[in-house]
Amino acid sequence: MRVTDEQMALLRAYLAGQAEQAERARVLVARSGDVEGAAALVYAAFAIMARRKFSPTWTRAEIIRFTGQVRALLSDQPDLLDPLAAEHQLRGALGEKLTVYPGEEAKARAQVVLLDALVHDADLDDAAIIDLLSQARDLAHRLPVNSG
Partner 1 sequence: MAVTDEQVSALRAQLAGNAAEHKRLFAQLDRQGDALGYSALVNAAFFEAVDRRFGKQNTRADVIEFVADVRSRFDEVADEVDPRSAERVILKVLGTGSTDDIDAQTSMTAKLYLLAAIIADEHLDDTGLDDFMAEVRKSANYLLS
The length of the chain, given as a count of residues = 148
Q: Is 96 in the site for partner 1 (CB under 8 A)?
A: no
- Cβ of residue 129: shortest distance to partner 1, in angstroms? 27
> x/- string (CB under 8 A) for partner 1, residues 29-68?
-------------------------------xxx-xx-xx
Burial of 142 by CB count in 10 Å (0-12 exposed, 13-18 middle, 19+ buried)? exposed
Instruction: Check binding of 75 to partner 1 (CB under 8 A).
Output: yes
C-beta closer to partner 1: residue 69 or 135: 69
Sign of CA dihedral 66, 69, 74, 80: positive
Near partner 1 by CB under 8 A, which window of 42-50, 71-79, 125-133, 137-145?
Answer: 71-79
Candidates 31, 32, 26; CA nearest to 9 is 26
Minimum CB separation of residue 45 from partner 1 in Å reads 24
- 145's torsion region: left (phi>0), alpha (psi -120 to 50) or beta? beta
**Alpha-carbon dihedral 111, 116, 122, 124, rounded to 10 degrees:** 130
For residue 103, state whether it binds partner 1 (rule: CB under 8 A): no
98 binds partner 1 (CB under 8 A): no
Applying CB under 8 A, the residues found at the interface with partner 1 are 60-62, 64-65, 67-69, 71-73, 75-76, 78, 82-84
